[in-house]
Amino acid sequence: MDPKAVKSDLVLILDFGSQYTHLITRRIRSLSIFSLCISGTSPLSSITSLNPKVVILSGGPHSVHSDDSPSFADGFVKWALSNGVFVLGICYGLQLLVQRLGGEVRVGERQEYGRMEIEVEKSCGLFGGKRVGDRQVVWMSHGDEAARLPNGFQVVARSQQGAVAAVEDQENRFYGLQYHPEVTHSPEGMETLRNFLFDVCGVNADWKMEDVMDEEIKVINNTVGPDDHVICALSGGVDSTVAAMLVHRAIGDRLHCVFVDNGLLRYKERERVMETFDRDLHLPVTCVDATNQFLRTGRTHSHTIKSHHNVGGLPKDMKLKLIEPLKLLFKDEVRQLGRILRVPELFLKRHPFPGPGLAVRILGDVTEGNALDILRQVDEIFIQSIKDAGIYDSIWQAFAVFLPVKSVGVQGDQRTHSHVVALRAVTSQDGMTADWYYFEHEFLDDVARKICNNVRGVNRVLQMTRKKMSLAGFLNMSTGCLSEILQQYGNNMMNLSKRIAEIILRSLGDGYEEKFYESEFGDCHGYLRIVNYTPPDDVEEREVEGLGMHTDMSCITIVYQDELGGLQMRSKEGKWMDVRPCENSLVVNIGDLMQAWSNGRLRSSEHRVVLKQFMNRFSLAFFWCFGDEKVILAPDAVVGVGNSRVYHPFVCLDYLKFRESNEVGNFDKIGYTVKDFAGLKVEVQ
């Protein structure tokens, strides 16, 4: 993708080494704004040639007092002033901006790391409608601080220790934050970025993946001559598959795909990849079996694998032009592009697989004995069991590891001395950070039995979890049965919510479950609420309030109620209807977030709980929700041609806070709804 060819407003990030820089790019792109990251020390010509509307100076581990501290190019400030460019400095970026503009940065008397509270000193565009004195929690990580601001700058917020937390120079369009708005530890950080980009800078949210595809096809055609041919090295993974489909869309049969079997692939990987490309993608692929060459080389000339085995590695004297159509995209964006190119969903959802293959999952000599064959069989059983359990899509990556130890055991009444394997599964949003996936004990027991009974040479199976036991893990051990039941119930509700969402999307339009589920609902999470309602105190009370009329702050709510019942739904005519308990059934309710996302086509039903019997009522509600930083905006296709939008876009967390601050109602109505918060002056049909 050529950034210069993108017609949308560009937010350019100058990277000075912060571990969070990639998050800034992701957060901004989630707002449908094109964002690009380049080195903070890039020449001025590299910056000006991209013609950005906004430049963000990232944080970093450096001090502006160090002789070797990085800085932006000479002439940057003059260029920004003369071209009307907005500049936002974050942490180190703020300090750098202050110093270069004539202010003073000093080593802070009190270093500020982690969660801190800041207070607004001046109403400004950065903080939207916040008033002087309002406070918010942010994530700080700095030792230096701005001691004297340049001319024209004003302090708009300070930390609880009195340090400068936010500054602005409205006339010259310079702004700064001494904290990280891009991380989730700053709960209102996304709102601050939205305020800055939309309200202060006037950036247009018009960057779409369809436009990325069209622009990339133009770049490919301009790079590849009319008679030139392209070789594509296919791994069978998501990235190489989407890249191949994109290039094929651009130049057709002049693309030649090659799949190399290096002998380190998963069970029947070659057959499955070749079948998919032939049957589903209709893309010719040449398969090269280089098993002997790779494994023989490994026996004689082995080398340590570099720490990042999926980066670089191309020969310096390569006599070919290089096309990297997905270079600037994140994994979730690659999947979005794959859906547009009609790559099968099952293929797009495949777990990542390392370039060196199973070699990095064998501790010890890869070619010794039958380690590869054993690992292939173990991995196949593990992955297939995950799929059969319906939890494959809930896991970011799962794999087996062949350990360099043997274990004494008993199999078939005989003592054995066989290999040990370990199983690992993690959850993640972007692969930058991950946490272990919690498996039910029954699942692990079943998988371990299958492996030991079906894979000759294995007599023990281990599971890898987090390094230290968390409080949740301790409670799981302490409370045993209850925690396991709730964990299993929550996992089942997550899977059920996904199935319900896909059905709902299908009802809105043909193929909408494939078009919108992963991109719009793929990061949804859920939480459980257990409620015990106490009965009326007075026998004269025939019906008492359990929970007043309200709508749910979720996409989907799934409710289990015991045999007492008490749940009532309100019809369009305003009549209350009992939802009677039925054996082996659950109640599914549309929430406010789904109503807004569907542009009012789906209705968040008003409901309440009444207590009619002199017994405690028990219910278990599962709320399936968007992530806090999700921007709720109905897609154009969902709105429909000729129809008007009935909700303006909003951040999920903002609405949740609005509801929480307005929960002051009574038995007739609790708080406010999404129409009160984000509704436009248009009648919902």
Count of helix runs (H) and strand runs (E) in the chain: 20, 26
Active-site hit among 37, 91, 124, 232: 91
Angstrom distance (rounded) from CA 582 to CA 560 = 10
Any known ligand binding at 240?
yes
- Side-chain half-sphere exposure of 611, counting CA atoms within 13 A: 23
Name, in order, each residue with C-beta under 8 angstroms of 509's C-beta and a sequence gap of 6 or more.
Answer: 515, 637, 638
Are 600 and 468 in contact by the 8 Å Cβ rule? The answer is: no
Single out the catalytic residue among 180, 419, 550, 607. 180
Distance CA 133, CA 135 (A): 6
Q: In 280-400, where does DSSP find H-type helix?
A: 291-300, 331-340, 345-348, 371-388
644 annotated ligand binder: no
Among 586, 591, 544, residue whose Cα is nearest residue 566: 544
Contact by Cβ (8 Å): 110, 143? no
Annotation-wise, does 394 bind a ligand? no
**Cα 383 from Cα 377, distance rounded (Å):** 10
- Within the chain, what is the greatest distance between any pair of CA atoms? 91
Evaluated on CA atoms 127, 130, 132, 135, the torsion sign reads negative
The residue type of 488 is Q
Contact 625, 554 (CB under 8 A): yes
Distance (Å, whole) CA 647 – CA 592:
11
Q: Tokens 């400068």 sit at which residue?
A: 164
Where in 211-365 does DSSP place strands (E)? 230-234, 255-261, 285-289
Task: Compute φ and ψ for 283, nearest 5 degrees.
Answer: -120, 120
237 among the known binding-site residues?
yes
Residue 1, CA atoms < 13 Å, CB-side half-sphere: 23
HEC sequence for 574-585: CCEEECCCCCCC
Return the residue matching tokens 């010509």.
45
Please state, in angstroms and rounded to a whole number, the distance separating the CA atoms of residues 442 and 315.
49
Does 241 count as an annotated binding residue? yes
Question: In this structure, what token pair is assigned to residue 354?
Answer: 């390392």
Cβ count near 243 (within 10 Å): 25
Sign of CA dihedral 438, 235, 346, 446: negative
> Which listed residue (112, 145, 168, 182) is catalytic?
182
Q: Ramachandran region of residue 17, left (φ > 0), alpha (ψ -120 to 50) or beta? A: left
Question: What would the two tokens of residue 97 be?
Answer: 């901006």
Q: Which residues of 52-134 form beta strands (DSSP E)?
A: 54-57, 86-90, 104-120
What is the rounded distance in angstroms from the CA atom of residue 309 to the CA atom of residue 297? 18
State both tokens at 504.
């709902």
104 an active-site residue?
A: no
Beta bridge partners of 427: 435
Concerning whether 301 is annotated as a catalytic residue, the answer is no
Q: Residue 102 and residue 210: Cα distance in Å, rounded?
A: 44
- 126: which residues sit within 8 A by CB, 6+ positions away? 156, 166, 168, 175, 177, 192, 195, 196, 200
- The answer to the question of whether 286 is labelled as a binding residue is no
On whether 235 is known to bind a ligand per the annotation, the reply is yes
Q: Which helix (H) or strand (E) holds 330?
A: none
Q: Is 663 an active-site residue?
A: no
Distance CA 610, CA 410 (A): 59
Beta-carbon contacts of residue 343 (< 8 Å; ≥ 6 apart): 241, 242, 245, 281
**Feature table: binding site for ATP:** 235-241
Which are the catalytic amino acids? 91, 180, 182
